[in-house]
């Protein structure tokens, strides 16, 4: 595998080349508006203004694979005819941080493994090329990816890896998969790549300041503490809102709801959150997780124990979004650390 | 008195209350791992008291946590600043908590490092069993002394032309992720079961789009409506940074325009403006 | 394992079916017989498996499959929410969506050669009935069969034709209602205490329990006191479900999804799971 160089000045041309036959998502906007959006050709050609590669987006890019809301199918109320949405075409996500890339492997486990393959997800996934961007600096004091098996420069799951050079003028580009190589050809044709010379090196990746001691047997330790009164303490400030789940790159729980429009009933899949009071409440009123203590315990055990038991991975990549954004100081790193002390 | 001295007083007082067995717990604040961010904390025994903090970042309201235990066996201890006390007054007048179930430790507030405190009209607690230190001002901050207009957020929107106002709210509802943090943190959002969670009724679709978000946003604003104590917690917790305080500010401002001075939560006996009626009222609008 | 059936090979899209029979079991339970729009059988479930049933424009929910024939499946459904309310006002011939079957099943093979005790309460007889019918069809493979079933009142007893006509000819029935009422000369009392009163021998006997959570809880305790080994106590659980295919998240107990790994568990398997039922 050889590395190529993509000058930042060539970024508009590179994105424009992708747009010819892909939908291209890249981070745009600032502060709370910092999010992956589908670029128009105008935005692609004015990269310097539109695309914002600094920092972690407020909402993770998971919504490209797992939209906040999507129509699963429609059914004619008169004729009973079923219509399913057109599958999306080739898509590129540009500038995804290593933590968010690793989170996609978690989504894959859920939507593609253990019995059923999710039709809508697999269509999008097969059509998706991931262009990752290594972190040159720490994105936030809440980052702890290197405690969770990843790292600021981890290329795990990426089709293409971009690493900013020390002088900040270019990216070293590694094409890691067949999907990545297809883009390499596209970029070669568009003449946006150059050969790096010996001065084009990447500085050593940053080290996360938040260190979380995650023991190997965390799932077993936490499961043994299922009835520990500490869960009460961990959940006492929790507001039971959906902030953590909705900004999390790995949370994948969904609801299916019906909406009627234009003589059709649309079956919609939409994000849901296990902290909500109607999440596990049954039609007859019984709720196996009736208070925020049980809900929060289920949320963290799902992330740190259940998912691991099912898929062999932790359902947390250490992006730190939930820690930074939780309005009431609930902190998954605390739960991991506490698990380590058990 | 320095914040550190105040913090010491709080710790001592909470420890004493726990030692006496006067309260089942005391609601206050603790540190988080980030400087500049605190979280609500329940002092459950004497030694917990040492984790209490008081600094310019003890921003979250304590009062909402009272609604998690509406019929306590024993009194609940709660630290309350002006904003918390307004919330407690509303909770009492909305029959959500009973005064005799509370032991309120009043904390005159110097204003926190939060933009919303710039338009605070009531730094000193209105209702308390004891005041832990003397207020710096004799009463609340007068409106003319505010560092920012009381209805600043509503006025931001009012200053826009009509079309731009519509675009403003469309943008808000398009960006809302319906995490319901604004609802859950709001000290006057106290329905035992929110209409949102009764989705089998069809009132609120689960669909995440601007239309459903608008249904929620407008319903929330109007339901809080005249009971809003203007604490701004809804904006503090919003992960998308949405300027939603403007909605209820506008309602309060409109009430002031109709009926003169009005501020929710100033008196535990007071009805909410829209919650009272008179059988002799003339239905001039019908 | 039976094959999953859905529309367009998309596991979340239901087959277009119709209602070909509706039986009123109790004031709030009806049994719905369902067939594909083209007259074929939607799928062939194993005893204890589930079906996701939907009404266009109303919603979708998971129900146990109570019985099946050559070209139909049946579910007995209690009116408790929006969808079941709409189902209860549906007519024969109405369109209905079905996908499934979901979940594991009762271990019909492993139970061969054993005496069987079925314990049900209220609508809880519905999931168990699929196994009772299977066992009766293959009666030579099983030993003595007892059904102990109770409900709030006579009116609330489901499958009355089975309970009072068909089954007494083929197995032992023990029926109870919670409180005495005019015209009822059978047993009066709650299921768990009736169970203990009957003192069934645990010897070579497996017990299959389903009912409201509180009845299950006390019945399991009673069975253990009676000396039933945990491996010989089987129950079927209910959790809120949305997808049925192990993706949507909510029906988990510990790392198990009830829609995939359940709903049928032995008590020894349940003991391995967190107490969140």
**pLDDT tens digit sequence for B91-149:** 999 999 999 999 999 999 989 999 889 989 899 999 999 999 998 764 445 556 678 89
On whether residue C128 sits in a domain, the answer given is yes
Is there a single domain that holds both residue C119 and residue C89? no
Q: Does A114 touch chain C (CB under 8 A)?
A: yes
Q: Is residue A201 part of a domain?
A: no
- Cβ atoms within 10 Å, residue A334: 16
Chain B CB within 8 Å of residue A238 CB: no
Whether C91 and C138 map to the same domain: the answer is no
Q: Among all residues of chain A, which has the CA nearest to that of B234?
A: A327
In this prediction, residue C213 carries a pLDDT of 86
* Chain C residues in contact with A253 (beta carbon < 8 A): 248-250
**CATH code for the domain in which residue C25 is found:** 2.40.30.10
Asked, for residue A204, whether it belongs to a domain, the answer is no
Is residue C235 helix, strand or coil? Answer: strand
Q: Do A288 and C255 touch (CB under 8 A)?
A: no
A306 touches chain C (CB under 8 A): yes
Q: Is C250 an 8 Å CB contact of chain A? A: yes
A223 belongs to a structural domain? yes
**Is A247 domain-assigned?**
yes
pLDDT for C81 equals 84
C 12-31 residues inside an 8 A Cβ radius of A: 12-13, 16
Cβ within 8 Å of C, A 202-241? 223, 226-227
Do C38 and C74 fall within a single domain? yes
Q: Are residues C20 and C94 in the same domain?
A: yes
Report the pLDDT averaged over residues A97-103: 97
A202 in a structural domain: no
Beta bridge partners of B77: B26, B103
A276 and A173 both lie in a single domain: no
φ, ψ for residue C158, nearest 5 deg: -90, 165
Residues A37 and A146 in one domain: yes
Position A149 confidence tier, pLDDT thresholds 50, 70, 90: very high
Helices B245-259 and B210-224 meet at what angle, rounded to 10? 40
Window 20-39 of A, Cβ < 8 Å to B: 31-33
Minimum-distance CB partner of C250 among A253, A269, A310: A253
| B32–A331 C-beta distance less than 8 A | yes
Of C101, C131, C165, the one marking the end of a domain is C101
Both A185 and A223 in a single domain? Answer: no
Distance from CA of B271 to the nearest CA of A (A): 27
pLDDT per residue of chain B (286 residues) written in tens, 0 to 9: 899 999 999 999 999 999 999 999 999 999 999 999 999 999 999 999 999 999 999 999 999 999 998 889 999 999 999 999 999 999 999 999 999 999 999 999 989 999 889 989 899 999 999 999 998 764 445 556 678 899 999 999 999 999 999 999 999 999 999 999 999 999 999 998 899 988 667 788 888 899 999 999 999 999 998 999 999 999 999 999 999 999 999 999 999 998 889 999 998 888 778 877 788 877 776 6
Nearest-neighbour CA in chain B from C268: distance (Å): 35
The verdict on residue A175 lying in a domain is yes
A228 within some domain: yes
Strand partners, B31: B38
| Cα–Cα separations (whole angstroms), residue A121 to A7, A64, C257 | 34, 10, 20
CATH of the domain at A130: 3.40.640
Q: Is the pLDDT of residue C147 over 80?
A: yes
Cα A265 from Cα A269, distance rounded (Å): 13
Q: Which chains touch A (3 or more CB pairs under 8 A)?
A: B, C
Identify whether residues A230 and A187 lie together within a single domain. no
Q: Which of residues 277-306 of A touch B (CB under 8 A)?
A: 277-278, 283
Q: Is the pLDDT of residue C1 over 50?
A: no
Mutation pick from A327, A330, A331, A335 vs chain B, by most beta carbons of B within 10 Å, is: A327
Pair A224, A150 in one domain:
no
B119 with B148: CB under 8 angstroms? Answer: yes
| C neighbours by CB contacts (3+ pairs under 8 Å) | A, B
Both C58 and C129 in one domain: the answer is no
CA of B284 vs chain A CAs: smallest distance (Å): 38
How many Å lie between the alpha carbon of A315 and the closest alpha carbon of chain C? 12
Domain ranges, residue C19: 15-101
Choosing from C206, C221, C236, the residue where a domain stops is C236
Statement to judge: residues A44 and A180 lie in one domain: yes
CA distance A247 to A199: 38
Q: Which residue has the higher pLDDT, C142 or A48?
A: C142
Do residues C170 and C78 both lie within one domain? Answer: no
Q: Is residue C175 part of a domain?
A: yes
CATH classification of the domain holding C192: 3.40.50.80
- Position C2 scores a pLDDT of 53
User: Does residue C145 sit within a domain?
Assistant: yes
The total number of structural domains in chain A stands at 2
Chain C contact set for A258 (CB, 8 A): 56-60
Number of domains in chain C: 2
Among residues A159, A194, A229, the one where a domain terminates is: A194
pLDDT of A68 > 80? The answer is yes
Task: Number of A to B CB contacts under 8 A, please give it.
Answer: 106
Residue A189 tokens, joined: 């044709």
Q: How far apart are CA B134 and CA B154, in angstroms?
A: 33
- A260 and A189 within one domain: no
> On the CB side of C197, how many CA atoms lie within 13 Å of its CA?
12
Quote the pTM value.
0.93
Q: How far apart are CA A175 and CA A158, in angstroms?
A: 9
Q: Is residue A83 one of the residues assigned to a domain?
A: yes
User: What is the span of the domain harbouring residue A42?
Assistant: 3-69+77-194
What integer is the mean pLDDT of A89-116? 95
Domain end position, chosen among C202, C220, C236: C236
Residue A282: closest CA among chain B residues belongs to which residue? B200
Q: What is the DSSP letter of A328?
A: T
C181 and C231 both lie in a single domain: yes
Report whether pLDDT(A299) > 90. yes
Same domain, A63 and A124: yes
- Domain annotation covers residue C55: yes
- Give yes or no: residues A169 and A96 share one domain: yes
Helix (H, G, I), strand (E, B) or coil at A321: helix
């Amino acid at each position: 595998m050889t590395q190529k160089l993509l000058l930042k000045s060539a970024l508009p041309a590179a994105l424009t080349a992708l747009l010819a036959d892909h939908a291209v998502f890249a981070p745009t906007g600032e502060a709370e508006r910092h999010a992956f959006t589908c670029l128009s050709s105008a935005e692609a050609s004015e990269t310097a203004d539109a695309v914002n590669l600094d920092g972690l987006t407020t909402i993770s890019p998971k919504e490209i694979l797992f939209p906040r809301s999507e129509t699963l199918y429609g059914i004619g109320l008169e004729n009973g005819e079923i219509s399913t949405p057109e599958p999306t075409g080739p898509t590129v996500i540009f500038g995804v941080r290593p933590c968010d890339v690793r989170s996609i492997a978690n989504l894959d486990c859920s939507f593609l493994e253990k019995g059923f393959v999710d039709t809508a997800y697999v269509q999008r996934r097969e059509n998706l090329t991931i262009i990752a961007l290594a972190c040159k600096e720490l994105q936030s004091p809440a980052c702890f990816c290197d405690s969770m098996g990843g790292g600021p420069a981890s290329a795990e799951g990426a089709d293409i890896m971009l690493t900013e050079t020390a002088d900040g003028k270019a990216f070293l580009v590694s094409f890691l998969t067949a999907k990545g190589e297809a883009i390499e050809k596209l970029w070669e044709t568009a003449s946006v790549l150059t050969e790096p010379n010996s001065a084009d090196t990447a500085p050593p990746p940053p080290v996360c300041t938040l260190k979380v001691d995650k023991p190997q047997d965390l799932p077993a330790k936490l499961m043994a503490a299922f009835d520990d009164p500490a869960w009460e303490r961990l959940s006492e400030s929790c507001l039971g809102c959906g902030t953590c789940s909705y900004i999390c790159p790995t949370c994948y729980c969904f609801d299916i709801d019906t909406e009627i429009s234009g003589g059709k009933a649309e079956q919609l899949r939409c994000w849901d959150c296990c902290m909500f009071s109607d999440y596990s409440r049954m039609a007859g009123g019984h709720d196996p997780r009736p208070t925020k203590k049980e809900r929060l315990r289920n949320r963290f055990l799902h992330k740190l124990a259940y998912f691991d038991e099912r898929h062999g991975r932790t359902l947390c990549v250490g992006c730190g979004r939930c820690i930074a954004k939780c309005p009431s100081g609930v902190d998954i790193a605390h739960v991991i650390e506490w698990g380590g002390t058990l | 008195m320095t914040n550190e001295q105040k913090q010491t007083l709080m710790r001592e007082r909470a420890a004493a209350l726990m030692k006496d067995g006067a309260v089942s717990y005391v609601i206050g604040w603790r540190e988080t791992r980030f400087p500049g961010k605190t979280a609500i904390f329940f002092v459950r025994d004497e030694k917990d008291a040492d984790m209490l903090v008081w600094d310019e970042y003890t921003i979250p309201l304590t009062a909402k946590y009272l609604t998690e235990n509406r019929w306590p066996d024993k009194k609940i201890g709660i630290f309350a600043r002006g904003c918390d006390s307004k919330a407690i007054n509303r909770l009492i007048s909305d029959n959500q908590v009973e005064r005799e179930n509370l032991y309120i430790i009043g904390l005159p507030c110097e204003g926190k490092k939060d933009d919303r405190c710039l338009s605070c009209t009531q730094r000193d607690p209105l209702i308390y069993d004891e005041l832990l230190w003397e207020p710096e001002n004799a009463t609340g901050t007068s409106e003319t002394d505010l560092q920012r207009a009381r209805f600043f957020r509503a006025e931001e929107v009012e200053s826009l032309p009509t079309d731009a106002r519509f675009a403003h709210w469309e943008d808000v509802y398009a960006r809302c992720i319906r995490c319901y943090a604004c609802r859950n943190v709001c000290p006057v959002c106290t329905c035992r079961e929110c209409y949102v969670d009764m989705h089998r009724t069809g009132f609120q679709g689960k669909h995440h789009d601007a239309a459903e978000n608008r249904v929620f946003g407008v319903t929330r604003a109007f339901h809080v409506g005249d009971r809003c104590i203007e604490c701004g917690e809804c904006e503090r917790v919003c992960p998308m940074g949405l300027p939603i305080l403007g909605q209820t500010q506008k309602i309060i401002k409109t009430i002031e325009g109709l009926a003169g001075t009005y501020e929710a939560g100033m008196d535990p006996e007071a009805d909410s403006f829209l919650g009272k009626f008179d059988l002799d009222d003339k239905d001039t609008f019908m | 394992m039976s094959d999953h059936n859905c529309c367009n090979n998309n596991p979340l899209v239901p087959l277009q079916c119709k209602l070909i029979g509706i039986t009123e079991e109790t004031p709030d339970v009806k049994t719905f017989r369902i067939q594909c729009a083209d007259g074929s059988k939607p799928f062939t479930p194993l005893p204890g498996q589930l079906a996701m049933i939907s009404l266009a424009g109303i919603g979708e929910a998971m129900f146990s499959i109570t019985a099946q024939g050559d070209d139909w499946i049946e579910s007995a459904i209690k009116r408790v929410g929006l969808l079941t309310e709409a189902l209860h006002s549906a007519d024969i011939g109405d369109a209905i969506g079905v996908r499934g079957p979901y979940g594991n099943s009762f271990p019909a093979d492993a139970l061969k050669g054993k005496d069987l005790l079925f314990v049900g309460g209220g609508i809880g007889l519905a999931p168990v009935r699929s196994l009772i019918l299977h066992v009766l069809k293959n009666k030579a493979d099983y030993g003595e069969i007892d059904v102990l079933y109770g409900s709030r009142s006579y009116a609330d007893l489901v499958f009355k034709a089975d309970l009072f006509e068909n089954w007494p000819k083929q197995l032992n029935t023990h029926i109870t209602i919670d409180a005495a009422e005019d015209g009822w000369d059978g047993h009066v009392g709650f299921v768990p205490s009736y169970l203990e009163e009957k003192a069934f021998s645990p010897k070579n006997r497996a017990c299959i329990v389903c009912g409201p959570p509180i009845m299950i809880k006390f019945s399991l305790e009673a069975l253990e006191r009676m000396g039933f080994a945990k491996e010989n106590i089987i129950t079927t659980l209910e959790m809120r479900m949305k997808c049925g295919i192990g993706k949507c998240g909510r029906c988990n107990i510990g790392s198990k999804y009830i829609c995939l790994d359940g709903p049928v568990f032995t008590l020894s398997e349940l003991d391995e799971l967190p107490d969140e039922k």
